[in-house]
């Protein structure tokens, strides 16, 4: 019998209300996250990938209750996170931390680095005085920053160094889960590799579990154990790294992978260009949400909603096609 997951999310939704239009007519809410379920095992990296605007970052913040979900369930080791009071939630947040996308906007420009990294330790009463300074120095050393970093301000560092500061702050309370929200998308390619290697080292050193949010499938392929592909607020395919990259089943996944650059000028890849724009998340199309852009759509796709159901190899796919999607050459 397998052990229960460290984190379980069931049918999570986050709908944002929209101001009334002309004559005070109500408008439908933006359905940023619309019925998402996932699980995360201890020591695992679950990547969430998809186009910008599909709801990846909103999902990550909703799991942490940085924004309040509209409905659903979030359980951490069986504890119902949505039922916790603010005081109880503070204790749980020691176990789940986040690394934000923008390493400059997420750091207070008026605080020195020592104060930024030490703030979680003070809030959770984990250290003070000399012990606090020693712990901050240890954290900065762990993420590869110089000893004098604690006395400087965020603007005195490069983008990669600022992201290391963000990682150090997240590690301060010794979390079990890190939600990394596009942690390298704002960095140069050479610096991206350094930060990814750092996260990999920290995962092994502290036995961390990750929800890794990214639109860069090359990064996802390098760092993840399992992958969930998201489209218009919902998962359309989820499986192991080898399953999704080896033989994708959903047409949207196939199209995404066809756009990944190949570092070989002699190798050609047939790019699949999706027609049309991403539909309005306040008024998603009926049936399969991808059918308005899918080159393999069938009549039933326009009316019947495909369930996210398991296939023979164990992966989950929300598509009326019974096997792998075949598109292009």
Tell me how far apart the alpha carbons of residues 9 and 74 are, in angstroms, rounded to a whole number: 5
Give residues with Cβ within 8 angstroms of 63, minimum separation 6. Answer: 7, 9, 12, 74, 96, 179, 211
| Length reported for the chain | 329
Mention every residue, 6+ apart, whose C-beta is less than 8 A from residue 243: 313, 314, 315
User: In the prediction, which pLDDT does 33 show?
Assistant: 97
How far apart are alpha carbons 316 and 41 in whole angstroms? 17
Alpha-carbon distance of 125 to 197, in angstroms, equals 31
Report yes or no: 199 and 231 within 8 Å, Cβ to Cβ. Answer: no
- CA distances to 77, 92, 179, 252, 298 from 96, rounded to whole Å, are 12, 7, 7, 31, 42
Please give the Cα distance from 68 to 89 (Å, whole number). Answer: 12
Q: Is residue 60 part of a domain?
A: yes
Torsions phi, psi of 272, nearest 5?
-100, 115
- What is the reported pLDDT for 269? 67
Please report which helix (H) or strand (E) contains residue 229, including its range. Answer: strand 226-231
Q: CA torsion angle for 50, 32, 276, 323 (degrees, to 10)?
A: 50
Amino acid 147: pLDDT = 81
295 in a domain, yes or no?
A: yes
Instruction: Name the region of 208 (left: φ>0; alpha: ψ -120 to 50; beta: rest).
Output: beta
Say what the pTM is.
Answer: 0.92
Measure the N-to-C terminal CA separation of the chain; round to a whole number of Å: 43
User: Looking at the domain assignment, is residue 17 inside a domain?
Assistant: yes
Residue 171 within a domain: no
- List helix spans (H) across 143-238: 159-171, 189-206, 217-223
Is 267 part of a structural domain of the chain? yes
CATH of the domain at 60: 3.40.50.300
Instruction: Look at residue 2 in the predicted model and tell me its pLDDT.
Output: 66
Q: Alpha-carbon distance 162 to 153, whole Å?
A: 10
166 inside domain:
no
**What secondary structure does DSSP assign to 41-83, as a single string?**
-TT-EEEEE-STTSSHHHHHHHHTTSS--SEEEEEETTEEGGG
Domain annotation covers residue 172: no
3-state secondary structure of 164: helix
- Which residues, in sequence order, are CB contacts of 295 under 8 Å at separation 6+? 251, 272, 274, 275, 327
Domain count within the chain: 1
Q: What is the C-alpha separation between 254 and 269, in angstroms, rounded? A: 12
Residue numbers in the chain where pLDDT is lower than 70: 1-2, 21-24, 264-265, 267-269, 328-329
Of 50, 76, 51, 54, the residue nearest 63 (C-alpha): 76
Rounded CA-CA distance 132/120 in Å is 10
- Nearest of 61, 1, 6, 19 to residue 36 by alpha carbon: 61
Look at residues 229, 213, 220, 238 and name the one whose alpha carbon lies nearest to residue 289: 229
pLDDT at 109: 94
Whether 224 contacts 45, CB under 8 Å: yes
| pLDDT value of position 262 | 74
Domain assignment of residue 199, yes or no: no
Reduced to 3 states, what is the DSSP secondary structure of residue 127?
coil
Instruction: Tell me phi and psi for residue 147, to 5 degrees.
Output: -65, -30
pLDDT digits (tens, 9 = 90+) for 129-174: 999 999 999 999 999 999 889 999 999 999 999 999 999 999 999 9
Which residue segment(s) compose the domain that 273 sits in? 7-45+53-86+218-317
Residue 241 is predicted with a pLDDT of: 96
């Amino acid at each position: 019998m397998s052990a229960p997951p460290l984190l379980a999310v069931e049918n999570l939704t986050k709908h944002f209300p929209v101001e009334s239009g002309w004559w005070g007519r109500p408008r439908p809410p933006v359905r940023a996250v619309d019925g998402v379920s996932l699980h995360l095992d201890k020591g695992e990296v679950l990547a969430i990938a998809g186009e910008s605007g599909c709801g990846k970052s909103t999902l990550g913040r909703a799991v942490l209750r940085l924004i309040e979900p509209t409905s659903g369930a979030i359980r951490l080791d069986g504890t119902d996170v949505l039922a916790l009071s603010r005081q109880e939630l503070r204790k749980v947040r020691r176990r789940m931390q986040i690394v934000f996308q923008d390493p400059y906007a997420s750091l207070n420009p008026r605080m020195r680095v020592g104060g930024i990294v030490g703030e979680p330790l003070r809030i959770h009463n984990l250290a003070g005085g000399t012990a606090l300074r020693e712990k901050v120095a240890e954290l900065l050393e762990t993420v590869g920053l110089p000893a004098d970093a604690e006395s400087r301000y965020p603007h005195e560092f490069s983008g990669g160094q600022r992201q290391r500061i963000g990682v150090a702050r997240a590690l301060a309370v010794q979390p079990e889960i890190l939600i990394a929200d596009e942690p390298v998308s704002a960095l140069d390619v050479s610096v991206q590799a350094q930060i990814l290697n750092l996260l990999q080292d920290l995962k092994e050193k502290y036995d961390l579990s990750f929800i890794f949010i990214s639109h860069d499938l090359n990064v996802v392929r390098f760092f993840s154990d399992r992958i969930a592909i998201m489209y218009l607020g919902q998962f359309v395919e989820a499986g192991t790294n080898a399953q999704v990259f080896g033989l994708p089943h959903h047409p949207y996944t196939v199209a995404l992978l066809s756009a990944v650059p190949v570092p070989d000028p002699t190798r050609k890849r047939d790019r699949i260009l999706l027609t049309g724009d991403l539909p309005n998340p306040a008024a998603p199309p009926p049936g399969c949400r991808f059918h308005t852009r899918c080159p393999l759509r069938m009549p039933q796709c326009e009316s019947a909603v495909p369930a996210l159901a398991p296939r023979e190899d164990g992966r989950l796919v929300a598509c009326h096609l019974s096997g792998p999607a075949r598109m292009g050459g």
